[in-house]
A and B are shown apart, each in its own frame.
Chain A
Amino acid sequence: MRGQYAIVGLGITEQGVGLGYEGRELRARAVDLALANAGLPREAIDGYIRAHVEREDLRYMGLSPNFSVSMMTGGATPVFSIIAAMALIEAGQAELVACVYGEAQSARAVAGKANIGAYGYGYPMLYGLMGAAATHAFHARRHMHLYGTTSEHLGAVAVTQRNYALKRPGTLGYGAPMTLSEHQASPMIADPFRRFDCTRDTDGGIAVLVTKADRARSLASQPVYIMGAGTGHNITNWHKGTVYENHDHVQPAKLRAFEQARMTLTDVDMAQLYDPFTISPLMQLEAFGFVKHGHGGPFYAEGGARPDGPIPTNTGGGQLSAYYSTGFTGVAEAVLQLRGEAGDGQLAKANTALVSGHGMNAGVQNTWAHACMLLGSNP
């Protein structure tokens, strides 16, 4: 597994609120950019995976792959699509698979449709439970109860990520500093989450191209190697009654990914962890073992996730402060860092990255799916 496949093309469109493009156009632009990035012609894509539902992207984009697959497992979809791309190549169905995202999320509100923040959740809707903030708040409140985590600790996550975004043109947080007091003064949405604990919907497209490592080395872009990957489903913790102590089911995913990569935590230079809310990266740093359980809050407050900390985390500002490309945000940031293309936000040491995604909100729980992968600049 280790280093046998690589991401060879990255396309990132403009990202932001009210861009005025439809999702399909954002996906098409992301694919064009990824092809240009890899120096590949259109016909090189012989597999296509769209995060979320695909019907007519191929016709519009002028692509002609062997297959086009829709994939939906929430915010775990981006990492999952890269795992699936490797599997499809391994199964002889394609040589170069495009994993594509592009949505005009911020336009949904304008069109009178419910945005992500107002998702409903099965029978708990009878009790007024609406929105992803409320369901993630259950985890945050439980964490506070067990470990004494505070709103200021959550604020430290928000401020840490905003400080990263300040250096990154094109992000929501660019040129918009946030202090801890501003976080504390932001209005309560779903206690314990304040406004600045929450992400907001943005428009944008991202595509990555996946191929075998030997082919990757002959292409125009610097390959980023996939060292290992893993998945875990929170239904296990639901059955055990430990689902609120586990933001997502990291354990099996972590074991598999690190075993495949023959890496340990100390080999990881940065973490790009799925972050719909401030509690999410905090609990994942604990679940992966970078921080002891319950110490995530003080860890952030003491700067542990900053560029000079033990594990720089969400180094482009993440979804909280950069843009919300539903999990592709972290994939793109890892690729940029490992290639040394992160501009003023470039980390001093950037040879390996952990990337995670989670989601699939439904019924009674905020996160079901989890997928993670380890990336490296060397195979």
Chain B
Amino acid sequence: MNQSPATEQPHPLVEAMRRYGGDPADLPFWQACTEGRFLLHQCATCGRHYWPASRCIEHGNEAMQWVEASGRGTLYTYTVMHRAYTRETRDQVPFVVAVVRLDEGPFYHSNIVECRYDAVSVDMPLEVVMQPHESGLTIPQFRPVNPMKEQT
């Protein structure tokens, strides 16, 4: 039985996510990104954070909620893409795709920006910076935390 009216248009962000392999369950995350906020999925019972959206491994779906997160983490591992697999990346190689270990625990795959690709290193502290993406989504990217800025 179709509960939604036939006239309902698909959410524009959902369409964009689908084109890039995203999961509609993460819609609140991507909506928040357009407002410059970085969310994670959290179990209110045990406090454990998740990304992408999932049920808690201990408490299932009883208390899962999207919560604002720090947007900070460290670089856990990375690759430098030297080969372009898509037309969009042809002019971008070499570029970094890293796995960020967020301060709250989950991993987040992202680009490292404001840093030369050969200056990236494991364990470097990172912070989120929101970037518009051609899909219409706003995507969280990460840049090195500037130690000078931290001191002032």
Using a CB–CB cutoff of 8 Å, the interface residues on chain A facing chain B are 117-118, 120-131, 133-134, 137-139, 141-142, 145, 187-193, 239, 241, 243-244, 363-364
Using CB atoms, name the residue of chain B closest to A193: B79
CB distance B20 to A123 under 8 Å?
yes
Chain B residues positioned under 8 Å from A141 (CB to CB): 77-79, 122
Q: CA of A243 to CA of B20 in the docked complex: distance in angstroms?
A: 23
CB distance from B57 to the nearest CB of A (A): 5
When A and B form their complex, which 9 residue pairs have the shortest distance between CB atoms, in order from nearest?
Answer: A130-B85, A191-B80, A137-B79, A124-B109, A142-B77, A145-B122, A188-B82, A122-B21, A128-B89
CB distance A138 to B78 under 8 Å?
yes
Q: A127-B110, A130-B85, A244-B99 are in contact. List 11 more A-B contacts (CB 8 A).
A: A123-B20, A123-B26, A125-B20, A125-B21, A128-B95, A128-B111, A141-B122, A142-B122, A189-B82, A190-B82, A241-B107
B137 within 8 A of A: yes
CB distance A121 to B21 under 8 Å?
yes
Interface string of B109-128 (1 = CB under 8 A from A): 11100000000001100000
Using CB atoms, name the residue of chain A closest to B51: A364
Q: CA of A307 to CA of B37 in the docked complex: distance in angstroms?
A: 56
B3 within 8 A of A: no
CB distance B97 to A131 under 8 Å?
no
Chain B residues positioned under 8 Å from A126 (CB to CB): 20, 22, 133, 135, 137, 139
CB distance B21 to A120 under 8 Å?
yes
B62 within 8 A of A: no
Q: CA of A120 to CA of B110 in the docked complex: distance in angstroms?
A: 14
B81 within 8 A of A: yes
Partner of B82, one of A121, A122, A191: A191
CB distance from A300 to the nearest CB of B (A): 21
Partner of B88, one of A120, A128, A193, A243: A128
CB contact list, B29-54 vs A, under 8 A = 52
B61 within 8 A of A: no
Looking at A125, A126, A363, the one whose CB has the most chain B CB atoms below 10 A away is: A126
B105 within 8 A of A: yes
CB distance A128 to B57 under 8 Å?
no
Chain B residues positioned under 8 Å from A244 (CB to CB): 76-77, 99
CB distance B133 to A124 under 8 Å?
no
B17 within 8 A of A: yes
Chain A residues positioned under 8 Å from B17 (CB to CB): 123
